[in-house]
Amino acid sequence: MITININIRSEKLEDYNSIVNLNYNSFNEWHPRNYKAEPLIVSALRHSQYYDKDLSIVAELDGHIVGHALFSMFPLIVMKEKRMGAFLAPICVDTKLQKQGIGKMLIEEGHKRLQDKGVSVALLCGHENYYPKFGYENKTFAVSGVHVSIDAENISTENITERSIKNTDLEWITKQWNNLHKDDRLALYPGDTISQWFNHSLIYRSSMIYKDNTLLAYVRYRNTYPLEVKELLTTEDNAEKIIAYLMKENLKRTKGDVILSLSFENASKLLKNNEYLKAEEKISTNNAFMIKVIDKSDNLIAKYLQEAKLNTENLGILTFPPVLEIDD
């Protein structure tokens, strides 16, 4: 063990290149594909409205960066109440120095700093056997809650158009988000600035939807099949035609499947089953989706976790912010 010589500290500007190199090399060993999202995620998260350099933590050995963990704070809704949460992503250690306790040092230091900053809960998507050592509980949130089958051929999408979001849209977007999610079991609020809402890769789209000159919706989706709708802020009268539009215009399909990152309760406010559309509850979770209590005095978080572990129907549906959607 070499941890006695490790210095744990906040990142500095001059560390940026070492950190991005470390993330690339570490994740290249883990999944050696041509594209690595993790170095870009680190850079993008530094531009977040909620970025805190004290939560970008490095492990230094003999003047070299050998480990890095990034905790990012975001406001949460937990069982209808507001809390401050954080997610851990990414974390990496020099491949030559793994299994030496460096990751443990980074995580535990991060948890201490989160507690000092008044954060109630930490979330991550990671190795199902490693992170429970630090108090993370498996399968405690979901990433989608509804499966939709649609026959869009006879659903009118005439004069519907799509454009990128603008600063002038933010007031409308944030108001609609609060109207839809204020009573959720679990929801992550992206933020108040446009960088928290626009898409960060070509495969994802964040758009405003219009019919003629009337604003219908904000929608964020993965432009692949099956269509994955990450956020849909609109009204009941518009949701069906917007999904039909995305299927026909972007995926060039009239029939098919759609995955909604909404609770069934919220989806039911927007969609009604009929001869062209069928929505059913289908919760997508696994042991990699984990939550840890940071503030042990917060009874609300404890209650959420207790209920979540009793039944998957009690899981909150968590949509990660666009800044994390930088995969291929």
* Paired strand residues for 186: 78
Find the range with the poorest average confidence among 24-33, 143-152, 215-224, 292-301.
24-33
Mapping DSSP to helix (H, G, I), strand (E, B) and coil, where does residue 314 land? helix
pTM comes to 0.94
Across the chain, the runs of DSSP E, i.e. the strands, are 7-10, 56-61, 64-78, 81-93, 121-125, 144-151, 160-164, 186-188, 204-211, 214-222, 227-233, 255-260, 277-284, 289-293
214 compared with 4, residue with greater pLDDT: 214
- Give pLDDT, residue 30: 74
- Give pLDDT, residue 291: 98
The percent of residues in the chain predicted with pLDDT above 70, rounded, is 98
pLDDT tier at 3, thresholds 50, 70, 90 = low
279 compared with 32, residue with greater pLDDT: 279
Report strand pairing: 204-211 vs 227-233: unpaired
Cα-based distances in Å from 151 to 120, 207, 258, 311: 43, 23, 11, 32
Q: How confident is the model over 85-113, as a mean pLDDT?
A: 96
Q: What single string gives the DSSP state of each residue in 160-195?
A: EEEEE--GGGHHHHHHHHHHHHTT-SEEE---SSGG
Q: How confident is the model over 173-183, as a mean pLDDT?
A: 97
Q: How confident is the model over 74-87, as a mean pLDDT?
A: 98
**Vertex 202: Cα angle to 200 and 208 (nearest 5):** 75
